[in-house]
Structure 1
C-alpha cells in the first residue's frame, strides 16, 4: 500500500503543479487591465514656400542652335593650268582679305594670248583706218564725177562696216584673253577664313576643279527651332522679315569656351520659309555681325562656326505677372498655396510661360500669398502644413490661433479648490 501511495505521489505532483500554473495564467490574463487608446493627431507637413509678388515681366524664349556662316562658297578654277603659287594663309583656318590672291596658276600661255590679241586689234584698227580713208575718197570722187545717187558699194559702205566688225571682234578677243589672264589668280570677294584646302602647289587643275572651301567672317547665322507656343510668347508672325522699319527681337547667345561662359548679341532677321515636317517647328534665323571682330571683343572670344550655343530670345513684355520657381507648378496649371491658418489650398492658375527655371502666372495667386515650392506627398485641400522660409525656419503668422495656456488653467483650478476647502 505504501508503495502505491509513493508512486501516485511521484507521478501526480508534477501534473498538479502544471494544472495550477495553467489556472493561474488564465486568471491573470482575464483580469489584466485594458490599455488606454490615445488619439494622435497627424503632424503638419513641413514645406518650403515662396512669396508671390506682381511685377512687370519681360518674357524670354530659350532654345539652342548651331552657328553657321552666312556666306560659304567653293573656290574653283575657271581656267586650266598648273598651280605655281599658294598664299601662306591659304591653309585650313587661315584668314584672308577680300580680293587677296590665294592661289595663282601659270599665266605664260595667257600672257601670250593677250599679246596676240593686242596685235590683232592693232591690225584691225589699221584696216579700219584704211577703209575709212578709201570710203572718204570714193565719196569725193562721186561728188566730182558721178551723177545721181551713188550705191553703197560705190561708197565702200560694206567694206567699212566689215572693217569695223573685224575690229570689234579683235577687241572682244583681247578682252577675253585679259579675262582669262586675270582668272589665273583665284581669290574670294569677301573677308573670310579657309574651311578646307583641296589643291596645292604644282597641281594641274582644269575649269571647275575645286581649289578649297571658304566662308565669310562678316556675318554668322544661327537657326533656332521654335514651337507654336514659343512663337506666341515672342509675338512674332510665321512669315517674319526684319527691315529698317521693323526690328527683330534681340537675342543673347551663350556658350562655355575655355572653361568660361561667353555671351554674344544677335538679332532675329527672319523666319524660315516652311515648318519642318519632322520636328513640326519653325526656324528663326539669327544674325550676328562681325563674329570674329567686334562681337569677339565684346565676348572675349570669337563666335566660332560650328559652335553649339544656347539662345535667349526677348519676347513680349507683360505689365503685371507673378514669377515663381518652376517647382511651384504642379501638372499643367495647378499650384499649392499656404493659407494663414496653416492649411493647404489647391488652385488652378493661368500660366503665361514656363521653362526649366521659372513659371510666369497671370492669375491663381494674390499679392503677398505664399506658394509651396517643395515636393509634398498626398496633397489634399485643407491638409495641415508648416510653411518654411528660405532659411528653413517656420514663417511667423501661419497656423491656428493659440489656445489658452493650460498651465494657467490648472493653477487656477488648484487655487479654487484650496479656497473651497478653507471655507
Structure 2
C-alpha cells in the first residue's frame, strides 16, 4: 500500500517541477534602478532688490557749540560782581556781570579832554597871530614902498648935487631895515600853516587817546554776548585783575555738538547715495549740505532721544583710532527738559549717535551669511552648486548689498559647505521670509 501511494504521487510532482522550471526560464530579470549621488541639504534664499538707507552707529560726548571766556582788556580792581555769576547759573545775553574800578580811566579821560581844550586855545591863538601878522605885513609893505620912492628921489638929488651922499646912504639903510621887517613877517606867516598842521596832528592823537580811554572805561563793565551757562569763575570782589587775565567762562545754551567717531568704511557707506563732488575745496568753502540724518540717544537711558544734523567734518582723523570725526549739532538742548524724566544736553554726556544716509534705490541684497569672502554659493536650476564672485557695496544689519555679480531672484546658499565643490548636488531648502 505504501509503495503504491508513492508511485501515484510521483507524476504530479514531476509535472509541477517541470512547470516551475519553465516559468523560471521564461521570467525577466529583476529591474535595475541607476544609483544617484545623495544631494547635500542646504538652506537657500533668493536675492532681493530693495531700497536701503545706509546706517552707522557711533558714540561721542556732548560739548558746547560755542564757548566764551571773558578776558580782562583793562586792569583794575573788581568792585562789583553779579549774584548769578557762579558755575552752573544761566545768564541772559547783554546782562552786566562784572565791574572794574574806573577811576584811572576817568582821570585819563579828564586829562585828554583838558589837553584838547589847550589845543583849541592854541589853535585860536595861531589864527589870531596869523591875522595880526597879515595886517602888520600890509603896513610894512606900504612903508617899504614909501621908503623905496623916497630912496629914488634922494638918489636923483644926489646925482644933481642937491643932496649929500650921506643922506642917500641913510635912506637906503632905512629901506633895507623895512625890507628886513617885511621878510620876517612873511616868514612868520609862512610858518603858521606848519604850526597848524602840527597842532592838528596833536589834536588828532589826543582825540584818539581820548577815544581809547573811553573804550577802556567801557571795558570796565563786562557783559555776556549771548545766553550762556557759567562754567568757571576766576574773578572775585576786590581782586585786582591784570590785562589778559581770565575773568570767567561759559557755554552757549542754544546748541551743542557731539563728535561721532566713524570708521572710514562706515563713513564711505553713509555717503553712498550722496552726489559726487568734483571740487572738494570749493564745496568745503561754500559749506557742504550733508544728506545724513542724525538721531542721538542718551547712554544709560535710550528712551531719551534728540534729533540732530551733520554740520561738518573736522579737519583730521582721530590720531589713534583713525576714524572720521563727524560733528553732529543739536539745537535747543534745553527744550522739553524736565529732570529727572528728561534731562537737558550738557557737556560730557555720553551719547549713542545713529547716522542714516540717503536712500539707495534698487540695491541687490542677500543675507550676510551667504557671503563667503568675495564669493556667493548659488543653487542653479538643476540644484547644483555654483561659486560666483561678486562685488560687495557694504554690510548692514545682517544683509549684504551687492554691486555686481548677482541678479534678483537668484537662489543663494546661506549655509557653510565644506568642501564647496562646483557642480556638487544640493538639496535646497528655501527659507520662508
* Alpha carbons 2:297, 2:305 under 8 Å: kept: yes
1:190-240 CA deviation, whole Å, 9 max, x = no partner? 443322222333332221221122234455444444555445431566946
Considering fraction of residues, name the structure with more helix.
Answer: 2
**Cα distance in 2 between the residues matched to 1:87 and 1:343:** 83
The verdict on how the C-alpha distance between 1:239 and 1:90 changes in structure 2, with shifts beyond 3 A counting, is farther
- Whether 1:304 aligns to 2:299 is no
Q: What is residue 252 of structure 1 aligned with on the other side?
A: 294
Corresponding residue for residue 350 of structure 1: 391
Counterpart contact for 2:64–2:346, Cα < 8 Å: no
Quickly say closer, same or farther: Cα 1:308–1:171, change in 2 above 3 A.
Answer: same
**Residue 117 of structure 1 pairs with residue 112 of structure 2:** yes
Deviations 1:254-298 (A, max 9, x none): 1227551413231343552x45554444444x353644378999x
Per-residue deviation, residues 4-53 of structure 1 (Å, max 9, x unmatched):
xxxxxxxxxxxxxxxxxxxxxxxxxxxxxxxxxxxxx9997685x65532
* Gap runs ≥5 in structure 1: 1-40, 391-423
- How is 1:372-411 mapped onto 2 (pairs within 5 angstroms)? 378=418, 380=420, 382-384=425-427, 386-389=429-432
Post-superposition offset of 1:151: 2.0
> How far off is 1:73 after superposition?
3.8
Structure 1 residue 252, shift from structure 2 partner: 0.8
TM-score by length of 2: 0.63
Unaligned stretches of 5+ residues in structure 2: 1-36, 142-181
Looking at structure 1, the residues matched to 127 and 96 of structure 2 have their Cα atoms a distance apart, in angstroms, of 44
For the Cα contact (< 8 Å) 1:242–1:270, is it kept in 2?
Answer: no
Larger radius of gyration: 2
After TM superposition, give the deviation of residue 54 of structure 1 in Å: 0.6
Aligned pairs (5 A) from 1:83-94: 83-94=78-89
CA distance in 1, matches of 2:290, 2:194: 64
Matched, 1:208 2:244: yes
Tell me which moved more, 357-366 or 201-210: 357-366
The 3 A distance-change label for structure 1 pair 349 and 79 is same
C-alpha distance in 1, partners of 2:114/2:124? 15
> What corresponds to 1:20 in structure 2?
none
- Picking from 127, 149, 162, the partner of 1:132 is 127
**Closer/same/farther in 2, CA of residues 295 and 367 from structure 1, 3 Å limit:** farther
Matched length: 343
| Counterpart position of 2:102 | 107
Structure 1 position 352, deviation (Å)? 0.8
Please say if residues 73 and 243 of structure 2, whose CA atoms lie closer than 8 Å, have aligned partners that are also in contact.
yes
**CA separation in 2, counterparts of 1:191 and 1:171?**
35
2:233 corresponds to which of 197, 201, 212:
197
Confirm or deny that 1:266 pairs with 2:309.
Answer: yes
User: Are 1:169 and 2:211 an aligned pair?
Assistant: no
